[in-house]
Structure 1
Amino acid sequence: MSVTGSILVVDDDPAICVVVGEALRRQGHKVKTASSIRERGALIDSFAPDVLITDVMLPDGDGLDGVADILERKPGLSVIVLSAQNTLNTAIRATEKGAFEYLPKPFDLNELARAVGDALGTGKVNESDGAEGALPHDGLPLVGRSPAMQEVYRTIARVLSNDLSILVLGESGTGKELVAEAIHVLGQRRTKPFVAINMAAIPRELIEAELFGYEKGAFTGASVRTAGKFEQAQGGTLFLDEIGDMPMEAQTRLLRVLQSGEVTTVGGSKPVRVNVRIIAATNKDLPRLIEENKFRQDLYYRLNVVPISLPALRERREDVILLARHFLDRAAQEGLPRKSLSDDAAQLLMAYHWPGNVRELQNLMQRLAVLSRENVIAADVLRNSLPLDMVPADYAAPADQLGQAVREWAKRQLGIGLGQPNRNLHDDLLAVIEPILFQETLASVDGNQIRAAGLLGINRNTLRKKLTDYGLDPLQLRIAD
């Protein structure tokens, strides 16, 4: 039996208050709404809600202001934050204030209902442990408002107050090191060193010396004792990039260090106690490497306590223009000519496949900031800077064709549906499109629901419900070997 409670919804958009309020009432909750911080404060005392759902941008101030005080006065209250300011900063601030959950707008009603159920079932779990303004929010390198990036932000926010090992997964150029830096800069180890080492860039015979250090005379050229990366990162964060390229023999020793918390230098005999947070990253399929006996399973479990999957840029196309403008602005701040994008150029950026991901986009914007003669970058200039075989001449055609198909379908249905006021064309259209979209997406990732949900930009629980509703079996959607 589901748990019900009293919910206060605070948003200056009446439509959101009505929709959210009605959805929660249908689940048996008592709901009241408010449109300002002032009204929220009055209802907190008179209505005494179990859960507060609040927007950030309210007419009389920042909705996050005062949340910590409310939770101090009402320790049994759970706070769910909604915001159209879909940035990592907002997620971090919400967590610092003690929010139980943070959901970006536009949000999924099913996801909101799940968050309310979790809040009523478990109570408030996040505590604010820092002074106001204690963390350096400005200038963080992570940019994106897509649902996939919102999930990344939420995960980052949840790991800042602990030292759990993190494994960042993603293709080359997606920003894995930026995630590691953000966790360090915003976390409780931010005053200590952040040390990074790329396993793929170091000769295999030198990896152990780089990681654990070496004694004088340990090998030819070792003229003095040298501290390894673990010792250099003492008290801070050690970022192990491209961990999938680490040789097996070094993996064994790394596992021993992670288990014991001690390192022994190459050529040394006395262990040194180390205290570091481990963040690893890879673009490799580690489970497959385990099957091929190229990666230790026990090390994988030790590193993969909290996984963070970074989407490829082609999987979050809604962020492409946001990122492009961000990189052009940053180039201008660094002294390069200030440039902007034409509408046609923006369309072309959205159509491109981006095999090099965010790194490729950043390099392209920097290059165009220097080489483009005009202040507004046109599509033809952009096209000349991209591989021609990867940019279709009719790059806008697929969206046009889909739009035309929907237009024709709507005309037919409206003709058929005259005199049928109870028809729901929106649901009818989704029933046509969604099963096809889910089938193709699941097939492309061999039935992996986590990856499919990321590509679709929806929550995995939402995907599961949709599959059940449409009678789709993910096991039957795997690509045949």
Structure 2
Amino acid sequence: MPASILIVDDEANIRRMLGSLLRAEGYRTREAGSGLGALAEVQSEEPDAVLMDLYMGSESGLDALPRLREAAPELPVIMMSGRASLSDAVKATRLGAFHFIEKPLSPEAVLLTLGSALELRKARDLNRALREELGDRDEMVGRSPGVERVRQMIARVAPTDARVLITGESGTGKEVAASAIHYRSGRAGGPFIKLNCAAIPKDLVESEMFGHERGAFTGATERRRGRFEVASGGTLFLDEIGDLSLAAQAKLLRALEQGEIERVGGTETITVDVRILTATNKDLRAEVAAGRFREDLYFRLHVIPLHLPPLRERPGDVALLVDHFMAHNQRRHALRPPRLEAAALEALIRHPWPGNVRELANILERICILYAGTDVGAAEIRAVLAGAGPMPEDAPAYRDDDERSLNERLDDYERQLLTGALDSAEGNVAEAARKLQTDRGNLYRRMRRLDIVR
């Protein structure tokens, strides 16, 4: 359906001129001759964008703008005027106007500005739709005392700007907790940027965090903003913070202490306004004692500790999580959910869940796909749990008819080992690294080299 534009101006000829221009471009138009009329139109049916005059007789568009924004917070409003001062333009922007264009109006300026406003609206609508689809991931599901304590702590710390260190085993929902803190904070309208510290090669950590200038190093063909800069005005979530190298820890500490960064290869000091949330499944006190984590950085990050209990300590929440993920998978895959018998649910409750909530979510997704619309008993649950993933085959023997090079054969076997371990670990990279007796950073690097995506 064509976008709907509300034209607000006390001059009828301006409304007619703009209406003709916009209808010729395929837009639908509505009109109002005053701020009160515009508010009534918006409350009746919200348009996709508004073009509003700054001065309308005795009425000011600046007075109407806050009322429109209150009625429709995501509605882009473009202000127009032929006799506005710079201070008027600044005030309009502060009140939430999308843009300010001067009269006499140029068709090109009107259409270009309107196109940008509609792109913004489309992006906001898409973001809201995604949030509605994925928003259940920002909820801590459960009624156990452990989950209630987490929920209460999130409610206390979210409105503040305090740094939070989230701890817990892999799969307990540390990213969910960080997301919940962000979206319940005053920074909810800003970006929520995530960075997995274990996944960054050591020589690229500084570039990932702080960005780089063109030519700063081999391969830096253009300027790139880092995560700190992108997250300014919002929240930066540093996952697996315990895997950050000591050199990277020093650079992170400096950014936290000064609130400023410099891009790699640059000389400009950039001020950033970022709330930092971190997470780890390591004991950072032990890491500090072992000399692998800076004590001063630990104290900077450990302002508010938030520990997430493993699923085995809250078996009473399994049934609620089952309902939650069943509904999620029904929406995601458009399948009729399976019907779990009492014995099937009991088997899920009794399972130790070493991979915690993440493992349960993966198992339930598999059940939803394999047994859509059918009855599922304990036998089916045991079969799915037993067949969580194939283990890699034994190393192949030398064959004269295999014309591949040594490197190609080794890559093929390594790919089998890695995919087998990842399947066995339900996609949990940390658990796969433990099974392979290596660190996560090394496993991530090998996965990238072999084009293994999980």
Shorter-chain TM range is 0.5 to 0.7
- The answer for the alignment partner of 1:178 in structure 2 is 176
Deviation for aligned residue 1:302? 0.5
Which consecutive residues of structure 2, in runs of 5 or more, have no partner in the other structure? 1-130, 389-454
Quick one: percent identity of the two aligned structures?
47
Using the TM superposition, give the Cα deviation of residue 239 of structure 1 relative to its aligned residue in structure 2, in angstroms: 0.2
Q: Secondary structure at the match of 1:222?
A: coil
Q: CA deviation at 1:372?
A: 1.6
What is the match of residue 249 of structure 1? 247
SS of the equivalent of 1:354 reads coil
Residues 1:373 and 1:197: Cα distance change in structure 2 (over 3 Å) = closer
Q: Residue deviations 1:213-252, cap 9 Å, x none?
A: 0111110011111110000001000000000000000000
Deviations 1:387-435 (A, max 9, x none): 389xxxxxxxxxxxxxxxxxxxxxxxxxxxxxxxxxxxxxxxxxxxxxx
Aligned position for 2:269: 271
Tell me the distance in 2 between the aligned counterparts of 1:336 and 1:274. 45
CA deviation after TM superposition for structure 1 residue 386, in Å: 1.0
With normalisation by structure 1, the TM-score equals 0.51
Q: 1:353 maps to which residue?
A: 352
Q: Distance in 2 between matches of 1:259 and 1:377?
A: 55
For residue 337 of structure 1, report the CA deviation from its aligned partner. 2.2
| In structure 1, distance between residues paired with 2:166 and 2:158 | 15
Deviation at 1:178, TM superposition (A): 0.6
- The C-alpha deviation readout for 1:115-137, integer Å capped at 9, x for no partner, is xxxxxxxxxxxxxxxxxxxx999
- Correspondence list, 1:176-325, <5 A: 176-325=174-323
* Matched letter for residue 371 of structure 2: S
Secondary structure of 1:386's aligned partner? helix
The count of residues paired between Structure 1 and Structure 2 equals 255
Q: Quote the Cα distance in structure 2 between the aligned partners of 1:289 and 1:313.
A: 25
Q: Which has the larger radius of gyration?
A: 2
Deviation sequence 1:116-169 (CA, Å, 0-9, x none): xxxxxxxxxxxxxxxxxxx99974432111100000000000012210000000
Shift of 1:340: 2.9
2:161 is equivalent to residue 163 of structure 1: yes
**Structure 2 CA distance for aligned equivalents of residues 257 and 197 of structure 1:** 16
Task: Give the corresponding residue for 1:369.
Answer: 368
Assess, with a 3 A threshold, how the Cα gap between structure 1 residues 227 and 388 changes in structure 2: closer, same or farther.
closer
Matches within 5 A, 1:429-440: none
Secondary structure of 1:308 counterpart: strand
- How far apart, in 2, do the equivalents of 1:373 and 1:185 lie? 33
Question: Partners of 2:163 and 2:139 in 1: how far apart?
Answer: 21
Provide the rounded CA distance (Å) in 2 between the counterparts of 1:219 and 1:351.
Answer: 53
Q: Is the 8 A contact 2:335 2:373 kept in 1?
A: no
Letter in 1 for 2:378: A
Q: Report SS of the residue matched to 2:223.
A: coil
C-alpha offsets along residues 282-327 of structure 1, whole Å, 9 cap, x if unaligned?
A: 0111111111100001111111101110011101111111101210
Instruction: Tell me if structure 2 keeps the 8 A contact 1:328–1:340.
Output: no
Q: Residue type matched to 1:367 in 2?
A: R
Distance between the aligned counterparts of 2:361 and 2:299, measured in 1? 34
CA distance, structure 2, for counterparts of residue 340 and residue 292 of structure 1: 50
Gap change, CA 1:138 and 1:193, over 3 Å in 2: closer
Secondary structure (helix, strand or coil) at the match of 1:239 reads: strand
Q: CA deviation at 1:186?
A: 1.3
The answer to whether the Cα contact below 8 Å between 1:167 and 1:308 also exists between their aligned partners in 2 is yes
Alpha-carbon distance in structure 2 between the residues aligned to 1:221 and 1:373: 48
Indicate the RMSD between aligned Cα atoms, in angstroms: 1.9
Decide whether the 8 Å contact of 1:337 with 1:370 is kept in 2: no
Deviations 1:31-77 (A, max 9, x none): xxxxxxxxxxxxxxxxxxxxxxxxxxxxxxxxxxxxxxxxxxxxxxx
Paired residue type of 2:176: L
Partner of 1:475: none
Is the 1:331–1:337 Cα contact (8 Å) retained in structure 2?
A: no
Code of the aligned partner of 2:193:
V
CA distance in 1 between partners of 2:273 and 2:231 (Å): 8
Q: Secondary structure at the match of 1:265?
A: coil
Q: How far off its partner does 1:359 sit?
A: 0.5
Partner of 1:379: 378
**SS of equivalent to 1:150:** helix
- Aligned to 2:293, what secondary structure does the other structure show? coil
TM-score, L = length of structure 2: 0.54
Matched with 2:340 is: 341
Classify 1:366/1:138 alpha carbon distance in 2 versus 1 (closer, same or farther; 3 Å). Answer: closer
Residues 365-402 of structure 1, C-alpha deviation per residue, up to 9 Å, x if partnerless? 1100110265232110000011389xxxxxxxxxxxxx
Q: Secondary structure at the match of 1:385?
A: helix
User: 1:449 is matched with which residue?
Assistant: none
Question: Is contact 1:149–1:311 with CA below 8 Å preserved after alignment?
Answer: yes
Secondary structure of the 2:214 match is coil
Q: Taking structure 1 as reference, are residues 267 and 371 closer, same or farther at Cα in structure 2, changes over 3 Å only?
A: same
Could you list the runs of 4 or more consecutive aligned residues of structure 1 that deviate by over 4 angstroms after TM superposition?
A: 135-138
| Closer, same or farther: CA 146–234 of 1 in aligned 2, 3 Å | same
CA 1:194–1:138 in 2, change beyond 3 Å: closer, same or farther? closer
SS in 2 for 1:307: strand
